[in-house]
Structure 1
C-alpha cells in the first residue's frame, strides 16, 4: 500500500492534495492513503473562527471549506486526527469519528479503524497534566469561553485508557499530534537540538519532552510505525521495545509531568548553536491555568535531563521563567510589514525583545462579527440547538481538486512562509507555487533517505540489525515552502487480497471497547468512574464475543440501481465505515445562508454510530421534543 504522511496541515488542504498529485504524476506511484497528523483546521465557514485556538491575526479560512461544500473532492482516502489548532466545535460533533467531508475521515478524540487489514490508531489533541489527570472530563461546550477554548483539545485519560485496551498488533500505524515522551532520545537528538535550539533549555534539566500517556501507549501497543507532528520539525527515531531496558522511559511514562502546550513555529533559518536564547520573535498567549502561590515560570513546562546532553553548552543553570503554558512561537519577521498591536495586546517594556507581542487571553472581549468574502453576513441559525443538518445537494456538480481554480487563501502560517520566500513567484491570493517536478523528486529522495535512516538507527542500536519489537517513529514539519512536511512510503498489505481503492472498515475490538466504556464517558466533573481493571476487562471481552457472534445493526447494502432504503440488518464481519456513517452538512458552508458562531449541531453520523452499537448519543444530543398541547 502506497501511503503519504503529512505533518501539520494548518488549513492548507488543497496544497497537500496538489503535492500528492504531483508526486503521483512524476513517479507513477499511485497513493492509496493519506494520513494527516493534526492541526487540520476543518473550518466550514467564518462562523467556526471563535472555536479555533489561534490569535485573531492568524485566522484564515483555508481550503477545507471547499471540500466540505462539495466544490472540490478529496482525490485519495484521507484519515485525520486532531491537534491543538482545530475547529473544535466541528471536531466535537464527531467525537466518535466520522467524515469531515467526503473521503476525509476524522478518527475522533481517539479511535481505531482498518484500511485493507492495516490497523490505523489515532490519538487526537495534546497533553496537559491538569486536564489529563485532574480535570479528566470533556466538560467544554459550544460556545467556548477563553478558558475552554484552550482546554477542549487536551487529551483525556478516558480516551487513552480506551486505546490501552486494544490488543497489540504488529500491523499497526499510530497517529498522534504530540510526541511520546523521550522519543527524542531514540534518534539524532543533537541534530534535533541544532535544528530547534529552543529545545536546548528544556533539554537541560529533565528527560522529558512530549506526552507521557503516549509513551505508555507506545510501550503497550508496540506499533510498526508512529507518525506525529506538532513541533514543526522532521525527526526520525527507532524505538527498540525489548532492548535496551529503557529505564528512563519507564520512569517518564509513570511520572505526573507537565507538557507545555506550545507550538514552535519556526521557518528554516540558519542553524544556531544549542543553548542560545529562545526564539526572539514569539507571540505569548497567557493561558488560563492557575499557578500555585509563589510559582515561578510555567508549571506546565517540560524540560529534559541535561545529563543526556553533556556536550551541549551551558544554558545558565536554570529553567527560563515563563508565564505561558500554551504559547505559540511564531517568526513575526516573516511578515513583510509590521502591524499595530490590537486590543488586548500589551507592548513589551523597555529592555525586552521589541519583536515580541504578549496577548492576554484573559481579556475576554467579544469577537467582532466576521463577514464572508462577498461581504454579506449570513443570517443566524433559528436556534443553536435545533439547527437542521443540510445534505449536500446531489444536483450540484462536484469539481475535483485542481490548481486551476480561483486563487485561494490558506493558513496565515503558510502565508507568512510564502512572504518570507520573497521571490515574486506566488500569485496574489495564493500561498505558494504549485508543486513542481523538483518538489516531487525531492520528496521521493526524502522517502529513500528516511528508510536508510531507520536502517542506520537499527544497525547502531544495541540489538543490532533486524531486532524484532521496534517502532519506526517519524515526525514531520508544517506545510510551506522548503518545509519537510510530507513523507511517502510503501507499507506491506496485511490483507492477501487487498481492494483498491482501499476499504475503510471498523475495528470490531474498538467498537467493543467503546460500548463497554460508554456508560463512563466523562462529560461532567465527578463522573462515574469505570470499574476495576479486571472487571472492566471482562465486560470488554463479553462485548467482543457479543459483536463477533451477534454482529451489528447496520443499513442494508443497496442493490444496484436502487435507493439505500430498508430496515436495518444484523451484520457480522467487516463493516465498511461508509455503510453506517454518511457525510452530511451540519453547519452551512461558507457562502450559504444561515450559520452562527454559537450554534451547535447534532451530527447524524454520530447518531448512526451510536445506533449501530445500541448506545445513547451523549454528544450534542438533540433536546427533547416538547409534548403536543392538549386538544
Structure 2
C-alpha cells in the first residue's frame, strides 16, 4: 500500500493533494492513503478561529472549509492528528475520533484504527510538563490560557496508548525526546543551529513520545512540529519499557516561526517537496565469495546454530510544513494485510477495548484521579476485549467493523459566511461521538464540557 505522509498541513489541503497528484502522474502509481502529522487546522467558519491559538495575523480560514461543506472532497482517504495550531473546539467535539469531513478522519486526542488491516495509531497535541498530569478541565469559551492547554497532551492518553500492542505506524506532532541522537545530529544542528542548546540540555522533543516509541516499537514513526525533515532509526535492544513521566520541554527560538508565548516552534530550510521511500526489507545473508560450496555435503556437515534474531527497529521521519521548496511530503510502501480499494477504514478492536476499560478514568476536572497499576489495567483491557468481540464484532473479527457503519459525517456547525465574526462559537455536540460512546456503552463525557451543560445556542 502506498502511503503519503505530510508534516504540518496549516490548512493547505489543496496544495497537498495537488502535490500527491503530481507525484502519482510522474511515477505512474496511485497513492492509497494520506497521513497528516498535525496542525491540520480544520476550521469550519470564522468563529472557529477564536478557538485557534495563533496571533491574529495568522487567523485565516484556510482551505478546509470547502471540504467540510462539500464544495470539495478529499481524493484520498486522509487520516490526521492534531497539533498546537488547531480549531481545538472542533477537535474536542470529536475527542474519540471521527470524520472531520468526507474522507478525512481524525484519530482523536489519541487513537488507533486499521486501514486494510494495517494498524495506525497516533497522539494529538504537544507536550507541556505543567499540564501533563492534569485532567481535561478546559471549557468553552476558552481563555488565553485554556486555548493553549487544551492541546497539551495528557498522561491519560499516554497511558491508554501504552496499552496497545505494536501498531505498524505511529503519528505524533511532537518529536520523541532524544530522537536526534538516532540520526545525523550534526547535520540537524547545521541546518537548525537554534536546536543546539535544546539538544545539549536533552530538552528537544517530548519525553512521553519517546516512552511510547520504546514501549510500542512501531515499524514507522512520523512527526512534524519542528518544520524540518529529519530521519532516524531507533534500534530496540530488549524491552525499552515505557516512560510516562513529564520532563522539561524544549525551549525553541526561531524568529521566522509563529510565536505564541510558550508554544514557539522552529521553521525549515528549502528542499524538494515529495520523496519516495521503500519500506525496509530484511537484509540478505552475507556471502563469502571465497567459500567453496559443496551441495552434496549439506547432509553430512552439521549446520551451525542459527544467529540470534536481529533487534527490532523503528524508522523515524519528521517532515516540514506545506510550503514551496520544502520537504513536506514523503511516500512509502508498506505491506498491508488486505488490498481493498478504496482502502477500508475499520475500528481497531484492541483500541476499542482500551477506550471502554479506561473511560472511567477520564477526568473533566483539573485534578486527575489515580490510575490503576499496569497489571490491573491490562487485565481490564483483556476483559473489555472479550466484551468487544462478543457485542461489537460478533464473531466477525477477521472482517473488522467499518467506521462508517457507526460514524457518519455530519455538519454540526455552519460553513463560512460573507461576514467574519470573531466571537467564540457555541458548543456543538457531535453525533459521531455519541454514536461511538453508544457502541461501547460508555458515558459520553465529551459533551459534558458544554458551557452550563447545555448544547448549541444561537
TM-score range for the pair, normalised by the shorter chain length: 0.7 to 0.9
- In structure 1, the residue matched to 2:213 is 218
CA contact (8 A) 1:549 1:572 kept: no
Match of 2:224 among 229, 234, 243: 229
Residues 104-136 of structure 1: CA deviation (Å, up to 9, x unaligned): 000000000000110000110010111113xx2
Query: What is the DSSP-based 3-state SS (H/G/I as helix, E as strand, rest coil) of the residue aligned with 2:437?
Result: helix
Shift of 1:618: 1.1
- In structure 1, the residue matched to 2:314 is 471
Shift of 1:258: 1.5
**Distance 1:539-1:74 versus aligned 2 partners, 3 A rule:** same
The answer to whether 1:507 aligns with 2:348 is yes
For 1:237 and 1:585, how far apart are their aligned partners in 2?
40
Residues 58-102 of structure 1: CA deviation (Å, up to 9, x unaligned): 121110001001000000000000000000000000000000000
The answer to whether 1:119 aligns with 2:119 is yes
Query: What is the DSSP-based 3-state SS (H/G/I as helix, E as strand, rest coil) of the residue aligned with 1:447?
Result: strand
- In structure 2, the residue matched to 1:620 is 447
CA contact (8 A) 1:95 1:109 kept: yes
- In structure 2, the residue matched to 1:20 is 20
1:527-566 counterparts in 2 under 5 A? 527-551=368-392
Shift of 1:479: 0.7
CA contact (8 A) 1:9 1:39 kept: yes
CA contact (8 A) 1:181 1:214 kept: yes
What is the TM-score of this pair, normalised by structure 2?
0.86
Match of 1:578 among 401, 404, 407: 404
Query: What is the DSSP-based 3-state SS (H/G/I as helix, E as strand, rest coil) of the residue aligned with 2:113?
Result: strand
CA contact (8 A) 2:226 2:267 kept: no
Q: Report how many aligned residue pairs link the two structures.
A: 426
- In structure 2, the residue matched to 1:484 is 327
CA contact (8 A) 2:158 2:244 kept: no
Query: What is the DSSP-based 3-state SS (H/G/I as helix, E as strand, rest coil) of the residue aligned with 1:48?
Result: helix
- Return 5+ residue gaps in structure 1 as ranges: 263-277, 287-324, 332-416, 422-438, 456-463, 553-569, 627-631
CA contact (8 A) 2:198 2:251 kept: no
**Distance 1:115-1:261 versus aligned 2 partners, 3 A rule:** farther
Shift of 1:23: 1.4
CA contact (8 A) 1:126 1:261 kept: no
Query: What is the DSSP-based 3-state SS (H/G/I as helix, E as strand, rest coil) of the residue aligned with 1:73?
Result: coil
For 2:266 and 2:215, how far apart are their aligned partners in 1?
33
Match of 1:589 among 398, 411, 415: 415
For 1:158 and 1:580, how far apart are their aligned partners in 2?
25
Shift of 1:571: 7.3
Residues 134-178 of structure 1: CA deviation (Å, up to 9, x unaligned): xx2111111110010111110000001000111225xx1000000
The answer to whether 1:522 aligns with 2:360 is no
CA contact (8 A) 1:179 1:229 kept: yes
CA contact (8 A) 1:179 1:228 kept: yes
- In structure 2, the residue matched to 1:188 is 184
For 2:44 and 2:251, how far apart are their aligned partners in 1?
25
Query: What is the DSSP-based 3-state SS (H/G/I as helix, E as strand, rest coil) of the residue aligned with 1:526?
Result: coil
For 1:97 and 1:195, how far apart are their aligned partners in 2?
36
**Distance 1:592-1:605 versus aligned 2 partners, 3 A rule:** farther
For 1:90 and 1:606, how far apart are their aligned partners in 2?
12
Match of 2:250 among 257, 260, 270: 260
- Structure 1 segments, 4+ long, off by >3 Å, are 252-256, 278-286, 328-331, 592-596, 621-626
RMSD in angstroms over aligned alpha carbons?
2.9
For 1:53 and 1:109, how far apart are their aligned partners in 2?
17
1:220-369 counterparts in 2 under 5 A? 220-242=215-237, 253=243, 256-260=246-250, 279=254, 285-286=260-261, 325-328=262-265
- In structure 2, the residue matched to 1:599 is 426
**Distance 1:593-1:101 versus aligned 2 partners, 3 A rule:** farther
What is the TM-score of this pair, normalised by structure 1?
0.63
For 2:210 and 2:435, how far apart are their aligned partners in 1?
33
For 1:32 and 1:618, how far apart are their aligned partners in 2?
34
**Distance 1:592-1:515 versus aligned 2 partners, 3 A rule:** farther
- In structure 2, the residue matched to 1:165 is 163
- Return 5+ residue gaps in structure 2 as ranges: 284-306
For 2:258 and 2:40, how far apart are their aligned partners in 1?
21
For 2:411 and 2:425, how far apart are their aligned partners in 1?
17
Residues 235-285 of structure 1: CA deviation (Å, up to 9, x unaligned): 000110017x98xxx8x94764111376xxxxxxxxxxxxxxx64556654
For 2:323 and 2:454, how far apart are their aligned partners in 1?
49
- In structure 2, the residue matched to 1:337 is none
CA contact (8 A) 1:93 1:606 kept: yes
Shift of 1:20: 1.0
For 1:576 and 1:443, how far apart are their aligned partners in 2?
33
For 1:613 and 1:255, how far apart are their aligned partners in 2?
29
CA contact (8 A) 2:203 2:250 kept: no
CA contact (8 A) 1:181 1:253 kept: no
CA contact (8 A) 1:517 1:530 kept: no
- In structure 2, the residue matched to 1:10 is 10
**Distance 1:254-1:577 versus aligned 2 partners, 3 A rule:** closer
Shift of 1:534: 2.4
- In structure 2, the residue matched to 1:309 is none
The answer to whether 1:198 aligns with 2:194 is yes
**Distance 1:142-1:18 versus aligned 2 partners, 3 A rule:** same
Shift of 1:521: 0.7
